[in-house]
Chain A
Amino acid sequence: MAFKQYAVVDKTLCVACGACEIACPLGAIKVHKGCFANVIKDKCVGCGKCENVCPANSIKRENREGI
């Protein structure tokens, strides 16, 4: 089942602190090689927990296409 929204990371703003990784209850977001966070789109349910904890305001939620 695909959820309506998912998290999107602005790589230019991300500081790769990993706060989102800790906050995500599904392990759907991981820091990629210490550079920026990556969202596993299929796992993300768009709960917004990562968005709430991100200190750099680099995560926003977007609607999935076709849902």
Chain B
Amino acid sequence: MRVDKKHWYDYLWIWSIIYFSLGFFNILFAWLGMIDFLLPIILAMFGGNKFFCNHICGRGQLYFKLGEDFKCSRNKSTPKWMASKWFRYGFLIFFIAMFGNMVFQTYIVASGAKNLSEAIKLFWTFRVPWGWAYSGSVFPDWVVQFSFGFYSLMLTSLLIGLIVMILFKPRTWCAFCPIGTMTQAICKLKNRKSNK
């Protein structure tokens, strides 16, 4: 007998699909992904918990849905190094550096030193033209540049998550998700007295 009832937030995997689909039509929707960046940190800082990861992360739910319910995962053990502290914190530092670079690119466009690049970069390497998802707007170019950069980051991390989902366990991405690592560190700091 299952004890827990289904809640509205158990269906947020649908939101994840909608978010990535919207990016194919209008890149400005990429800004909505900031919710996934800021909300977990706010909840960890003020609530001292990982409610976001545990219940409302649409991406985690999507991996679980595909891997567990649709049997798209090989269900093999995650390699030890992938869930190790040095890899988790190393990936977090790398991710923050790439985020910083993306913000810097936005700044360059805002200052007028560089033109808007209507492309996304997958795995921080492969440039994919994405011009069809932008046909002008009332917003300044830097807002659009941020959208392209941020969507690149979101899509790249989704693809990494899907690859490790297929190769290992459905939610292997969670083992080294930078947001998850950051929020767990915040929670550990916040609750260090009660955890002793």
Whether chain B is bound by chain A comes out as yes
Interface positions of A (Cβ within 8 A of B): 13, 15-19, 21-23, 25-27, 31-35, 52-58
> Contact partner of A55 among B3, B175, B188, B191, CB < 8 A?
B175
Task: Give the size range of B's interface with the partner.
Answer: 35 or more
Q: Are A33 and B187 in contact (CB under 8 A)?
A: yes
Q: From residue 28 to 81 of chain B, which have CB atoms closer than 8 A to chain A? A: 44, 48-51, 53-55, 60, 64, 68, 75, 77-78, 80
Does B23 make an interface contact (CB < 8 A)? Answer: no
- Asked if B154 is an interface residue, CB under 8 A from chain A, the answer is no
Residues in A whose Cβ lies below 8 Å from that of B174: 15, 17, 19, 55-56
Sampled A-B contacts (16; CB under 8 Å): A16-B184, A17-B50, A19-B170, A27-B4, A33-B190, A33-B195, A34-B44, A34-B51, A34-B53, A34-B188, A53-B171, A55-B78, A55-B170, A55-B171, A55-B174, A56-B174
Instruction: Contacts A15-B175, A17-B180, A34-B184 given; indicate if A53 touches B170 (C-beta within 8 A).
Output: yes
Asked if residues B3 and A27 are in contact (CB atoms below 8 Å), the reply is yes
Q: Which residues on A sit within 8 Å (CB–CB) of B173?
A: 55
Overall SS of chain B's interface: helix
* Count, A-B residue pairs, CB within 8 A: 99
The residues in B between 141 and 182 inclusive whose CB is less than 8 angstroms from any CB of A are 168-175, 177, 180-181
Chain B residues within CB distance 8 Å of chain A: 1-4, 44, 48-51, 53-55, 60, 64, 68, 75, 77-78, 80, 83, 88, 168-175, 177, 180-181, 183-184, 186-188, 190-191, 194-195
Question: Which one of A19, A26, A55 lies within 8 Å of B83 (CB-CB)?
Answer: A55
Q: Provide the bound-state CA to CA distance between A13 and B81, in Å.
A: 11
Known contacts A15-B184, A25-B2, A57 near B50 by CB under 8 Å: no
Which residue of B has the minimal Cβ distance to A56? B83
Q: Is B53 within 8 A of A16, CB to CB? A: yes
CB closest chain-B residue, reference A18: B54
Q: How far is the CA of A25 from the CA of B183 in the complex (A)?
A: 26
User: Could you tell me if B180 and A53 are in contact, using CB atoms closer than 8 angstroms?
Assistant: no
Which residue on chain B has the smallest CB distance to residue A49?
B68
B48 touches A53 (CB 8 A): no
Q: Which of B53, B80, B168 contacts A18 (CB 8 A)?
A: B53
